[in-house]
């Protein structure tokens, strides 16, 4: 009896796996055409200076509107795109689109673009970035490339070479999702980062959980010691922002300051110079 139950469970498991594999293949197939079919869109999320509340730039975040499924989360489709190499074509579109958009903004505003491991390890990537900067006229120092630690570990020496070449173009490099990857501390020493982005999971409840607070404080100390600005991701409440102000975190990003939205939502910044202060937020 145990044996047949076991077999049944296995069959159920196998069937479920089959569905998941099929699902992935379908999405993978649709992803190959998504850019050409105009299904990809960028939304932008403001990044603010904690002290003044001023908007200093935006992070571009990818949205895929699937013709039948509606919006598919990047957390789901980016890993599939990475496995199938479709990420190279998609990532190129993101870079062109984000830089083209940012080139029209007032000078001080920067644009942060997420870049995947596959792109970092592609031999064309540095040349592509160079070409896009020239073509769009975006000043290199206004472009920030966000990479996660997992993008670096498969071939660290190659990744280091690429990051150095990118820096030679004049752009900046941020370590994304800090605290969630592997061996964060040695990565900070080995790679030429310009900024640390603390993962949102550490920012959530930082005002009420002593352990979380201790971790965030120590990352801020790390940033100070290394001379790197720290940006806190996923700030949702005034209490969380209050903690970051008190601990002198440099920059913040999260639903509290603004949800990722079509750029048209932010014309007061991208077409003008209205500072984004805490008072503005209360009035909004």
Q: Which residue's Cβ has the minimum distance to ligand C2E?
A: 254
Instruction: With contacts defined by CB under 6 A, name the span among 8-16, 127-135, 228-236, 273-281 that binds ligand C2E.
Output: 228-236
* Residue 73 touching ligand C2E (CB under 6 A): yes
Q: CA Rg, the chain, in Å?
A: 21
User: Which listed option, ligand C2E, Mg ion, none, makes contact with residue 260 (CB within 5 to 8 Å by class)?
Assistant: ligand C2E
Instruction: With contacts defined by CB under 6 A, name the span among 31-39, 67-75, 125-133, 134-142 that binds ligand C2E.
Output: 67-75
First-residue to last-residue Cα distance in the chain: 65
- 212 closest CA partner among 223, 222, 228, 201: 201
The CB-of-132 to Mg ion minimum distance in angstroms stands at 18
- Measured from the CB atom, the residue of 101 and 176 that comes closer to Mg ion is 176
Helices (H), the chain: 2-34, 74-84, 86-102, 117-120, 125-136, 150-153, 156-168, 184-190, 200-203, 210-226, 238-246, 267-270, 278-283
* Residue 147 touching ligand C2E (CB under 6 A): no
* Residue 70 touching ligand C2E (CB under 6 A): no
Q: Which whole-number Å values give the CA distances from 185 to 79, 120, 158, 219, in the listed order?
A: 25, 20, 19, 10
The CB-of-211 to ligand C2E minimum distance in angstroms stands at 20
| Touching ligand C2E, residues 79-98 (CB under 6 A) | 91, 94
Looking at residue 110, the DSSP 8-state letter turns out to be E
- Site residues (vs Mg ion, CB under 5 A): 114, 146, 176-177, 233
208 Cβ contact partners less than 8 Å away, ≥ 6 residues apart: 239
* Residue 254 touching ligand C2E (CB under 6 A): yes
Identify the bridge partners of residue 263 per DSSP, sorted by sequence position: none
Residue with tokens 């390890």: 121
Binding test (CB under 6 A) with ligand C2E, winner from 10, 12, 71, 255 = 255
The CB-of-137 to Mg ion minimum distance in angstroms stands at 24
Q: What are the residues binding ligand C2E (CB under 6 A)?
A: 45, 61-62, 73-75, 78, 91, 94, 114-116, 146, 176-177, 200, 233-236, 254-255, 260
């Amino acid at each position: 009896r145990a044996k047949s139950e076991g077999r049944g469970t296995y069959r159920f498991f196998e069937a479920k796996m089959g569905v998941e594999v099929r699902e992935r293949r379908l999405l993978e197939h649709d992803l190959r055409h998504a850019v050409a079919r105009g299904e990809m869109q960028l939304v932008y999320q403001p990044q603010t200076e904690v002290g003044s509340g001023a908007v200093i730039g935006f992070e571009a975040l990818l949205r895929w509107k699937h013709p039948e499924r509606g919006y598919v989360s990047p957390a789901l489709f980016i890993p599939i795109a990475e496995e199938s190499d479709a990420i190279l074509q998609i990532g190129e579109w993101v870079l062109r689109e984000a830089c083209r958009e940012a080139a029209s903004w007032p000078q001080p505003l920067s644009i942060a673009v997420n870049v995947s491991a596959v792109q970092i390890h592609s031999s064309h990537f540095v040349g592509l970035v160079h070409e896009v900067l020239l073509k769009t006229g975006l000043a290199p120092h206004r472009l920030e490339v966000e990479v996660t630690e997992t993008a670096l570990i498969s071939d660290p020496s190659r990744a280091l070479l690429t990051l150095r070449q990118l820096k030679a173009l004049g752009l900046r490099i941020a370590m994304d999702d800090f605290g969630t990857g592997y061996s964060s501390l040695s990565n900070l020493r080995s790679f030429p980062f310009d900024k640390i982005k603390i993962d949102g999971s550490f920012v959530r409840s930082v005002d009420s959980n002593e352990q979380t607070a201790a971790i965030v404080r120590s990352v801020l100390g790390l940033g100070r010691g290394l001379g790197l600005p720290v940006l806190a991701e996923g700030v949702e409440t005034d209490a969380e922002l209050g903690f970051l102000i008190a601990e002198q975190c440099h920059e913040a990003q999260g639903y509290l300051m603004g949800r990722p939205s079509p750029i048209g939502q932010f014309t007061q910044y991208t077409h003008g110079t209205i500072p984004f202060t805490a008072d503005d937020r209360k009035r909004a």
